[in-house]
Amino acid sequence: MSTAVAMSHTVPFDFAQFLVDRDAITVAQAESARQTADTERLPIGQLLLQGGALSVKQIMTVLAVQADHPTEKFGQIAVRHGFITMKQLEEALQTQAVARRHLIEVISRMGLMRPEALLELTVAYVTLLELTLAAQ
């Protein structure tokens, strides 16, 4: 897409609306994806892994214990096994309270678009955002 063409479009800062405007998803699908992204918390194990506090092996150990004790929380097991400190758990829980899944991940997981099409439109969206922001 040329710069002139890209700049002639209005670029919404809402990725779901961008996809609706390009007939990639329906308005109802966009709303469903937004609601899912707004309400789904990231798993505490994923946050601890991303933060480098837990290894995949440790997560698997915690999940194995949790399978036998389903009422016990992931973080409690990780602390009890000495994988993380209580402070690390508290910090991860604070992050979890505000962190949400990205809309791109939600749309992909919901199967609303083919992965190739989602990737192509994500790149187009970022390109248009860059051009829009540069023009301001």
Task: State the pLDDT at residue 63.
Answer: 97
pTM over the 0.75 mark:
no
Three-state DSSP class for 41?
strand
- Which residues are CB-contacts of 69 (< 8 A; sequence separation ≥ 6)? 77
Model confidence pLDDT, tens digit, residues 4-55: 334 344 555 889 999 999 999 999 999 999 999 988 889 999 999 999 999 9
Cβ contact 92:51 at 8 Å: yes
Annotated domain spans of the chain: 3-40+102-135, 44-98
Model confidence pLDDT, tens digit, residues 87-112: 999 999 999 988 888 899 999 999 99
HSE on the CB side for 83, CA within 13 Å? 24
